[in-house]
Amino acid sequence: MTDNLRFFLSRFAKLSEEELEAFVAIFTPFSIKKLDHLFLENDMVSQIYFINDGIMRSYYNKANTEITTEFYFGPTIMTDLLAVRSNTPTQMNVQALKHSTCMVAKFSDLDNLIDKYPIIETVFFKFLEHLYLFGVTRQHSFIFDTPQERYLKLFGERPKVIAEIPQRYVSSYLGIKPETLSRIKNRIFKDL
């Protein structure tokens, strides 16, 4: 599990062995069963999670409807940064869509680590920049693309989502109803 964490970090900056060891040391491994939650709305979130393998889904509840906002495929890092930094209860729910192995660390331990090893802040800056660009691209897609164009982009850019995620969650992620997604798929694949 720590090899995946090391590899993940190396995508964003070159860390020394000492820095890598210190980073890995703040994490504790755990596993989560399919359909269990990392956290639920109204929980206080003060941790950062490394998803080693498995799939997580983040969603919000609005008017008795679950609105899926993201899928996390291991290896990756995630948390509700808004809740952590504002020290307010989260509005997000994060659910395992299959059995997953993970690691967790206190955000305060990460902050202390950054004070000692400033290069780790660079890792997180680059990671957050990556997330920001992904989020802006997704926002633009909701503004400028039709639902069919959003589906085709998702199919082309993140085929694992299409292959491994139940259709009801994919449709929610695309901002459409499941029956609309079925019609879109029928239209696309009818022409093939």
Q: How crowded is the C-beta side of 141, counted as CA atoms within 13 Å? A: 18
What is the residue whose two structure tokens read 């989260």? 90
pLDDT tens, position by position, 127-156? 999 999 999 999 999 999 999 999 999 999
What φ, ψ does residue 48 adopt, rounded to 5°?
-120, 140
Q: Calculate what percentage of the chain has a pLDDT beyond 70.
A: 99
* Residues in a beta bridge with 103: 29, 50
Q: Which residue did the predictor score with more confidence, 1 or 169?
A: 169
pLDDT tens digits, 163-177 = 999 999 999 999 999
The answer on pLDDT for 1 being more than 80 is: no
Q: Which two tokens stand for residue 130?
A: 């990556």
The stretch 35-54 carries a mean pLDDT of 97
The reported pLDDT for the residue numbered 117 is 95
Class of domain 2-131: mainly beta
Helix and strand element counts for the chain (H, E): 9, 8
- Residue 124's nearest CA partner among 157, 84, 158 is 84
